Copies of this chain bind each other. A is one copy, B any other.
Amino acid sequence: MRKALQLTDCGILCAASVVGKTEKNGPLGNWFDLHGDNDRFGQRTWEKAEAEMQRMALNTALAKGKLHDTALDAIFAGDLLNQCIGAAYGLKDFNVPYFGLYGACSTAAEGLMLAAMLVSRGAYRRAAAVASSHNCTAERQYRSPLEYGAQRAPTAQWTVTGAGAFVVGSAREAQAHIRAVLPGTVIEKGVRDAANMGAAMAPAAADTLLRFFRETHTVPADFDLIVTGDLGYEGGDILCDLMQIEGVDIRSTYNDCGMMIYSRDTQDTHAGGSGCGCSAAVLASYLLPKLAEGSLRRVLFIGTGAMMSPQIIQQGECIPAVAHLVCLAAKEEEAWKLC
């Protein structure tokens, strides 16, 4: 039994994003809530800057929802840093029960799934999901410090400097409803090129999407948008191909937060954006308002994560990936029944 779980009476009450300079200069720049001009956010190290972004994102989300942290029953949060210090340090001053997550770049979706399941089932009234990434922390941890100026592969993605925070609660007060969640299984198809995360993650996204369509008897045309977290141009293309092979054409409704966040023409990020903050910031500030106003009505949001470490790649292992699906709907879609 690995079913998509249909949820009642839960949705995203409020959300906020914080991004860096490159993201602010991208095509979605005007949508983000806060940005920093030097990516430091007043801190003396990149790691502390990333933690500060998590704090700012959750603070801003709460402020937008006119909520105090006492309104939260739990926080689900994580990031890419060793021992997830972005979340632990950034959120330590919120006096709220804390569940640390590690879902690599799928963390925003993982947190939303857990928050939504527990709210929908009445265990919690409101819970937050927070995720972040920072280009400068990720580069020096996964590859090499930026100062080295290492050449990047054409399939490499650009880690987004960004954080997103969401408050999940009752559907009555929500900007968008969370109608179903489908957690992914770990999928590993033999990709061991750490400069090609898209290829490693695409099979996981395909597995989750195919399972969702099969179990809910839906087709791509039932949705306005099918959006993955950070497959980028390389992985997004592979995903569409993998779906096509299974007889499911998603190209006309498909997009990827990593493709949306940077301009391919004016910002040379190679294969697009990546990182926990990529999908978190794009959903929080660009997609959610569109669901709230009804210009998007049915969205499949699929967080994608590659769960290797530099060390295990050096030891010759492949890259396992996971893709978590959150089915979002505008309030106007209340009568829509998934089966």
Question: Is there contact, CB below 8 Å, between B97 and A100?
Answer: no
Annotate A58-83 by CB proximity to B: 1 below 8 A, 0 otherwise: 00000000000010011000101111
Question: A100 with B92: in contact, given A74-B183, A82-B309, A183-B74 (CB under 8 Å)?
Answer: no
Closest to A183 in B: B97
Cβ-based interface call for A95 (8 A) = yes
Question: Is A121 at the interface (CB under 8 A from chain B)?
Answer: yes
Residues of A in contact, count (CB < 8 Å): 59
- A117 close to chain B: CB less than 8 A: yes
Q: How far is the CB of A180 from chain B (nearest CB, A)?
A: 12
Which one of B5, B92, B308, B322 lies within 8 Å of A188 (CB-CB)?
A: B92
Minimal Cβ-Cβ distance residue in B for A91: B186
Q: Could you say how many copies of this chain the assembly holds?
A: 2
Is the pair A123, B125 in contact by a Cβ cutoff of 8 Å?
A: no
User: Which of B96, B102, B117, B312 has a CB less than 8 Å from the CB of A89?
Assistant: B312
Scoring A residues 177 to 190 as 1 if CB is less than 8 Å from chain B, else 0, what string do you get? Answer: 00000111111100
- Other A-B contacts than A89-B317, A118-B121, 5 sampled, CB-CB below 8 A, are A47-B315, A82-B309, A83-B104, A114-B114, A117-B118
CB distance from A101 to the nearest CB of B (A): 6
**Given A73-B1, A73-B2, A125-B1, does the pair A311, B85 have CB atoms closer than 8 Å?**
yes
CB distance from A16 to the nearest CB of B (A): 20
